[in-house]
Amino acid sequence: MKDIVVDAVEFVEQNQIYKAPFLANNKQKIPYSSNLIKSDYLAINQKRNFVTQWNVPSWGIARINHRDLQDLTLYTVEEAAGAGIHVYVLDSGIQEDHPDFEGRAHTEANFITYEDSGDHSGHGGNIFGVAKKTFIHAIKILDRNGDGTTSALLQAGNTGDDACDYSPAANPDVFAVGASDSGDNIPSFSSFGSCVSMYAPGTNITSTWIKDSALTMDGTSMANPHVSGIAAMLMSKRIFQSPHELYGILRAMATPNTLKPQDKASGALLAYNGPNAL
C-alpha cells in the first residue's frame, strides 16, 4: 500500500464487507391493501389532535403505545407526528413512489456504483408507521443482496451476543437498539447487554416493502425504526441541544422492568410513545 498524508483525514479504517442485519427466514409477502397499512383513523382529542389507528398491520407500533401487554391492535398518536422532521436512512435505498410514503420519501445519494438508486432488496423501506408525517431521505450504501463496505458505511445487531463486543454499538455516542418479541422477551438473535440503549419490537414486524406491498420480517433492523420514529416525534415538538439530550428523553419515556429473560434484560428499557408520554 502507498502512504498518503492528508491533513483533513483524522484516521483510516481498513475496508471491510458488511451485510444488512435482518433475518430473511420469516418473510411473508403481503399484497398491498389500503386496509392493511392505512387503517381508519378516529379523532379522539381535538385539542392535541390525537388519532387512533385501528387494526394496525404490525403489533410493534401498538406495543410501544402501551405500558403493559394488552390490546396490540390499536395505535394512538398525534396526527402531525413527525411533521417537519427529516430522517436520513443509510441502507439499501427506498421506493420513492410507495403509496404509504405519500410523496415524503426521497433518494439523496447512492454509493453503490453498480446499481441504480432504487431499493431492490426492500430492507431500506421496511421502516414506516410510527411518525407518519416524517420526511425520509435515503442514502444507499447496501446493494440488492444487503452488502456494503466500510468505504460506504458505518452499522445492536442480530448476533445474539453482548453488543459491547461490536462496533458501532459499543460507541458511547451511539444509541443502539435491540429487539423484543410480542411476549416482551428478548429473542435469541438480538444483541443484548449494557451497550444496548433500548429495546423495541423486532419480530414478525409488518411494514412497507417494494412494489407497493408489505412484508413481515424479524431483526434489530425492524426494532430500530420504532425508536427512530419516536425520536422524530419528539424532535417535531421541541429543539434538542445535543443527541445525548434526546437520548435522555427517550430513556425517561421508556418502560422499565418488563423484558425477559432477566439475565439479558437487567436494567433494560422498552421503547414507549403512548399519548401520556409526550
Cell numbers placing 247? 437520548
Cα gap 61→70, rounded to integer Å: 13
Full set of structural domains in the chain with CATH:
50-82+151-270 (3.40.50.200)
In tens, the pLDDT along 217-266 reads: 888 888 999 999 999 999 998 999 999 999 999 999 999 999 998 778 77
Q: Per-residue pLDDT averaged across 102-117, rounded?
A: 87
Give the SS3 label for residue 50: strand
Confidence check: pLDDT of 35 > 50: no
How high is the pLDDT of residue 150?
44
Q: 181: which residues sit within 8 A by CB, 6+ positions away?
A: 187, 201, 202, 203, 204
Mind telling me the catalytic residues? 91, 120, 221
pLDDT number for residue 38: 38
Strands 135-140 and 147-149, how do they pair? unpaired
Does residue 213 or residue 30 have the better pLDDT?
213
Instruction: Write the CA distances from 139 to 88, 92, 185, 273, integer angstroms.
Output: 7, 8, 32, 27
* CA angle, residues 250, 254, 256, in degrees to nearest 5: 140
Spacing of C-alpha 144 from chain mean position? 19
Range with the poorest average pLDDT among 13-17, 149-153, 190-194: 149-153
Query: By C-alpha distance, which of 41, 64, 70 is closest to 229?
Result: 64
